[in-house]
Amino acid sequence: MPLITAPFPTATAAPPDARLHAKGIALRPATDADIPFLLTLYAASRADELAHVPWTDASKAAFVASQFALQHRHFTTPGVATDLWIVEIDSRAAGRLYANREPPVWRLVEIALGPSVRGRGFGSTLLAWLKRTARLAGATGIDLHVLVTNPRAAALYARHGFVAAAGGSETHRRMIWAVS
């Protein structure tokens, strides 16, 4: 069964940043050619969860592909994310950063990094960049929703000044960072 996805919106270049460059990080607009990488990245994000499900590997792969296609269609819906970037580390695709930079409050839709680069400070560097960029653009803050089952991500956001806010759900905690 072929993977059917929605096209990416018109590409927007990420504002340049010397601090990202110094750490070997580059952001580039995602394109349809990135779909295989993004599917692999999504599968890695669900691997721990699916390890305990008594399905065949083929059933797990089909499930991941269908969930990825649904998520991709949602993220590419107008108004959800204005910027869909591939995170490159040392010129290799390593993750994605999806954001909506519409004022006054920006939304971090998702930061996802591959297993080989997690826990090495790249997420912190990307969050610091997004906060600097928001401040310089005159945004009043950044909000996000983090899975309640992802305490590592919630702790990362808290270390960067994000605080719990109303508007979460049973599955997601809403957090906000306010420009000061």
What integer is the mean pLDDT of 162-173?
Answer: 95
Structural domains for the chain: 18-178 (3.40.630.30)
Tell me what the mean pLDDT of segment 128-140 comes to: 96
Measured in whole angstroms, how far is the alpha carbon of residue 131 from the centre of its chain?
A: 15
- Does the structure show a pLDDT above 70 at 50? yes
Average pLDDT on 118-140 reads: 95
pLDDT surpasses 90 at 180 = no
Structure tokens, 40: 């692999």
Q: What is the pLDDT of residues 31-48, one digit of tens each?
A: 999 999 999 999 998 888
Greater model confidence, 163 or 119: 163
Contact between 148 and 173 under an 8 Å Cβ cutoff? The reply is yes
Which residues, in sequence order, are bridge partners of residue 164?
175
Interior angle at CA 91, CA 25 and CA 12, nearest 5: 65
The predicted pLDDT at position 1 comes to 45
- The phi and psi torsions of 154 (rounded to 5 degrees) equal -60, -40
Q: What is the mean pLDDT of residues 119-127?
A: 95
Q: How many Å is the Cα radius of gyration of the chain? A: 16
pLDDT tens figures, 5-27: 678 888 788 988 999 999 999 99
The arithmetic mean of pLDDT across residues 42-68, rounded, is: 92
Q: What are phi and psi of 179, to 5 degrees?
A: -65, 130
Residue 114: both structure tokens together: 């591959």
pLDDT at residue 2 greater than cutoff 60: no
- Cβ atoms 122, 94 nearer than 8 A: yes
Query: What is the rounded end-to-end Cα distance, in angstroms, of the chain?
Result: 50
| pLDDT on residue 4 | 63
Residue 123 DSSP symbol: H
**pLDDT per position as a tens digit, 66-116:** 999 999 999 998 888 889 999 999 999 999 999 999 989 999 999 999 999
pLDDT bin (cut points 50, 70, 90) of residue 28 is very high
Please list the residues that pair with 112 across neighbouring strands: 96
Distance of CA 150 to the CA centre of its chain: 14
